[in-house]
Amino acid sequence: MNLNLDRLVPAYVREFEPYIPSKPDDELKKLYGCDHLYRLNNNENPLGPPPGAQEIIRRFQPPRGALYPSGDSFYLRREIGRVNGIDPDQVIVGNGANEVIAFVVKAFCQQGDNIITTDKTFAVYEWVATFSGIEARLVPIKDESFDDKGMLARVDGNTKVLFLCNPNNPSGTYWTKDRLISFLNALDGRQIVVVDEAYFEFVEEDDYPNGISLIRDYPNLVVFRTFSKMYGIAGLRIGYLAAGLPVADMIRRTCVVYSVNSVAQEAALACLRDDTGHIEQTRALIRESRSFLREELAKLKMPVIAGEGNYLIVKLQGSDTLAYRKLMREGIMIRPMTGFRYPNHIRVTLAQMEAMEAFMAALKKTLET
């Protein structure tokens, strides 16, 4: 029997480089010979979930594991709608950001179409388009931010979706409300504009826009949010998008029902109802950690890109992949940035001071070897 994958598999899938996730922590510790591991690679919240969500996870009854979850996250969508002042039917919940990105691409794009984003941002927009057979047009970043004029110049009759990460991962730069509105006005509803607000809750600047509040005036706008970052339930994989009713109706047709598990739905609901000051506590921790690292790295004369979000980027004099291996031997896990098209840079998640001090000690040690 001869299996001809060249004939069965589209070229855009065969040629796509698969993402290789890191090994489990215990395996990494054995591999690098370290007895502890500070995870500073995935922008996770070191405080974990709010107390109410922790209680949901703790008290989930095993027999409920035999029952399918709400197929459309009914109660969670209702709460998201209440919090944001929109109709619950404008909300679609998915199994993490990757799934809601795929929902949008499947709803609006077919072969011959293109999406537009930038070259140094969350890579999944590009990946989902590419392995779906859709052209991803990457406009070079400008001043560490999305280049609005450059993106508009790449739009043509086959452009269906433009993806903006606001604030951008990994640079932390953000578009102000005025800049976003100007961009939306220039497109005049001809394309779908996705604004990914995965780090929305971390931003404290007054001119930062709340994308969901703009949907009423811009029916081509789709906004992503997640419970993975600020709310600390990345392990449960849950995020959502909000859009005008006609757009949400089209996207919903591409959804896979029952993809979001019951624990995730109920924990996310508890996150939205949290009144323990979880967001304020996390923001305070991030401010302290960012200030500490900026000061310490300045002493070493190491350039830093530190905007909004719970991360910053450090420029190295040498290889980021070599730095990763050296830091791992000290029990520090960071993100090499070559894959983000930032060669010789590393991204560091802002976390508790214990972890920040350990990172600086390990970094200084690697610079001496």
Same domain, 200 and 288: no
Specify the pLDDT at position 256.
87
- The number of domains in the chain is 2
Residue 14 sits in a domain whose CATH number is 3.90.1150.10
Same domain, 258 and 309: no
- Diameter of the chain measured on Cα atoms: 65
User: What's the DSSP call for residue 213?
Assistant: G
Kindly state whether residue 1 falls inside one of the protein's structural domains. no
**Tokens for 4?**
């001809």
Determine the 3-state secondary structure of 304 from DSSP.
strand
Domain boundaries, position 16? 7-48+277-367
Same domain, 121 and 136: yes
Same domain, 33 and 128: no
Domain edge (last residue) among 216, 243, 272 = 272
Domain edge (last residue) among 272, 289, 315 = 272
Q: Is 324 exposed, middle or buried (0-12, 13-18, 19+ CB in 10 A)?
A: buried
Same domain, 13 and 67: no
Kindly state whether residue 2 falls inside one of the protein's structural domains. no
Same domain, 72 and 43: no
Tens of pLDDT along the chain (369 residues) come to 889 998 999 998 998 888 888 899 999 999 999 999 999 999 999 999 999 999 999 999 999 999 999 999 999 999 999 999 999 999 999 999 889 999 999 999 999 999 999 999 999 999 999 999 999 999 999 999 999 999 999 999 999 999 999 999 999 999 999 999 999 999 999 999 999 999 999 999 999 999 999 999 999 999 999 999 999 999 999 999 999 999 999 999 999 899 999 999 999 999 999 999 999 999 999 999 999 999 999 999 999 999 999 999 999 999 999 999 999 999 999 999 998 899 999 999 999 999 999 999 999 999 887
Same domain, 225 and 86: yes
Same domain, 211 and 125: yes
Residue 253 sits in a domain whose CATH number is 3.40.640.10
- pLDDT, tens only, 217-236: 999 999 999 999 999 999 99
Specify the pLDDT at position 17.
84
Same domain, 172 and 205: yes
